[in-house]
Amino acid sequence: MDFSVKKFFSYYKPYRKLLLSVLACAFIVSALSLLFPLLVRYITKDVLEGNLSIALKKVFWIGGLMLVLTAIQNLANYFVDFKGHELGARMESALRGELFEHMQKLSFSFYDKEKIGKLMSRITNDLLMLSELYHHAPEDYLKYLVRLIGAFVILFLINAPLTIIVFCFLPFLGLFIFQLNKIENRALRKNKERIADVNAQVEDSLAGIRVVKSFTNEKVEIKKFARENNLFLESRIAFYKAEAIFYNGVQTFIQLITIAVIIFGSASIVKNTLDLADLITFLLYINFMLEPIQKMVHMSTQLQEGITGFQRFMEIMNLKPAIESKPNAVSLKKVLGEIEFRHVQFRYEDHLDHVLENMSLKIKPGEYVALVGPSGAGKTTFCSLIPRFYDVTDGKIMLDGIDIRDIDLYSLRKNIGIVQQDVYLFSGTVMENIRYGNPHASDEEIIAAAQCANAHEFIMKLTDGYNSEIGQRGVRLSGGQKQRISIARVFLKNPTILILDEATSALDNESESIIKDSLELLAKGRTTLVIAHRLSTIRNAQRIIVLTEEGIVEEGTHDALLAKHGAYSSLYSKQFESIF
């Protein structure tokens, strides 16, 4: 991916005053450091010429001046160090917030392909490296350039021929740095990808630790981790090899320059074109000139890490959500809940087969509809299209006569409540998780929602009641308890349309009975679409839709469909026989 310099520097804009003040102090630090060798030269000339009394007088006032300059330099250095790091921290925080906010906008199709561990690496490691670049690059490069240019000017004034000899080496040094930088950048990028793979493996393994232990597959996970860890190690070794060639090559050039100065400088003294004081000063300034080159080379790793981090940051930021609200999208006021599928077709990728083909169906406001059929028939996909988690490939879905693609996404999803089989609860308390259904709800409203979900009684038996911590993904609660909290969340949301995606299929009979009562209460007066695994739970549905790979093959009430002795009757009989 190309590196956009304009885009990179645009992130400094909110902090330009702080940046300019840091740069001003960095300039002062470098400018003052250039004065010290000149002050030493001023005294040394008198000493070498035998003017000791004059030199002694100069020592005191020059020493005092040095103390004052040192104090100013240290204060400026303190400001650069403190405020420079503050600048980097502020920018890192802002970039991380911007990246997280953008990730919230990306569609399901993005997360279907990406691993959470890799995304975590981008939002932590990459931005940490980027903040280091944002902090150090301007101030350090300014300091080193001031010292490099200042040293060159002073050296040229002291002895132009010797300075030209020194600078003959620099084009070759620059070419070497340019070539090795490209190799190092490739190695660093591979290194970033490998550590992201390690993070993804760790996240995947630890998130499923209960499954790992239940299948006694700890050794399998260790092998998987070892494979990714070894690949990361190989990428690190490749990077360190490139880094070693880079640094040692530059060090060789610097040593050659120093040797050249000593040889040609000594020859100039013999020819009386250069005195000893000037050679000493020249060597001091050569160090001032070469040290910035060394520092900038050492910074190349930080530069490459920062640039790579910025490129990976922009890879995400440049992604457009697959599903967005139109500029003139309709905001729903009062929703009746009429849903209509008109010749809907859908597939997840262009190269894949259609999951739904020519699907047409109308659901009346307040109607309770059950969707049944074999696995893989597209029942969950059917329901995922209504809140626009995915967009139809062809055809249209209407809500109260409006194409859902013309409705504001927030407004659409605000009016749809979903209870799934796989309940996700966040770390925190019971109350915080129920409040997720309506962040502005009062404690009384939360308790009322929990009572409607038949959750209040078990919540009050917890150690701290509604303030009890439930752990990561609600691990301290049973499956039935987690499901009731998720139902309470939807009660609090109070949507017009309700989607129940096999909400009781993973529960035992006792939990299912409790939750079934809650769901019936939740469905009352709402347009409800139920994906049912246990057909016995949807006997009272006003309409049952039988969906297979051929599409909708039957629809009607439970009794009417049984009387047909068709697809539904066959599914029901098989399930009934399996129980006995």
pLDDT tens-digit series, residues 509-542: 666 677 777 888 888 889 999 887 777 678 888 9
Confidence of residue 508 (pLDDT cuts 50, 70, 90): low
**Are 229 and 294 found together in one domain?**
yes
In a domain, residue 334? The reply is no
What is the C-alpha separation between 228 and 340, in angstroms, rounded? 48
Which residues are within 8 A (CB) of 267 and not within 5 positions of it... i.e. 6 or more apart? none
pLDDT tier for residue 402 given thresholds of 50, 70 and 90:
very high
Same domain, 170 and 95: yes
Q: Does 165 map to a domain?
A: yes
Specify the CATH number for the domain of residue 114: 1.20.1560.10
Is residue 325 a part of any domain in this protein? no
Q: Do 35 and 179 share a domain, yes or no? A: yes
> What is the DSSP code (8-state) at residue 542?
S
pLDDT at 54 over 70: no
Question: What is the structure's pLDDT at 426?
Answer: 84
| pLDDT computed for residue 385 by the predictor | 93
The CA-to-CA distance between both ends of the chain, in Å, stands at 61
Domain count, the chain: 2
Residue 19, domain member (yes or no): yes
Nearby residues of 124 by Cβ (< 8 Å), 6 or more positions away: none
With bands split at pLDDT 50, 70 and 90, how would you rate the model's confidence at 496?
Answer: very high
Instruction: Decide if 333 is inside a domain.
Output: no
Interhelix angle 127-158/16-48, rounded to 10 degrees, is 30
The residue segments making up the domain with residue 294 are 8-317
pLDDT at position 339 is 94
Check if the beta carbon of residue 361 is closer than 8 Å to that of residue 342. Answer: no
309 shares its domain with 384: no
Q: CB atoms < 10 A from the CB of 172, how many?
A: 11
Burial pattern 523-549, b for ≥16 Cβ within 10 A else e, equals: beebbbbbbbbbbebbeebebbbbbbe
Of 283, 317, 351, the last residue of a domain is: 317
28-33: average pLDDT: 89
Q: Which of 317, 352, 384 is the last residue of a domain?
A: 317
Q: Is 461 within the bounds of a domain?
A: yes
Q: Tell me if 19 sits within 8 A of 138, measured CB to CB.
A: yes
The residue ranking higher by pLDDT, 244 or 398, is 398
What's the pLDDT band for 211 if we cut at 50, 70, 90? low
What's the pLDDT band for 580 if we cut at 50, 70, 90? Answer: very low
Query: What is the per-residue pLDDT for 512?
Result: 67
Question: What is the arithmetic mean of pLDDT over 426-434?
Answer: 89
Most confident of 136-150, 271-285, 328-342, 409-423: 328-342
Give the residue-averaged pLDDT of 224-250. Answer: 85
Q: Are residues 446 and 520 in the same domain?
A: yes
The yes-or-no verdict on residue 88 having pLDDT over 50 is yes
Same domain for 365 and 268, yes or no, is: no
H or E segment and range at residue 235: helix 218-270
Does residue 332 belong to any structural domain of this protein?
no
**Is 469 found in the same domain as 359?**
yes
Q: Is residue 382 part of a domain?
A: yes
Of 495, 572, 562, the residue nearest 532 (C-alpha): 572
Residue 542: CATH number of its domain: 3.40.50.300
Q: Is the same domain home to 343 and 230?
A: no
| Model confidence, pTM | 0.74
Same domain? 418 vs 287? no
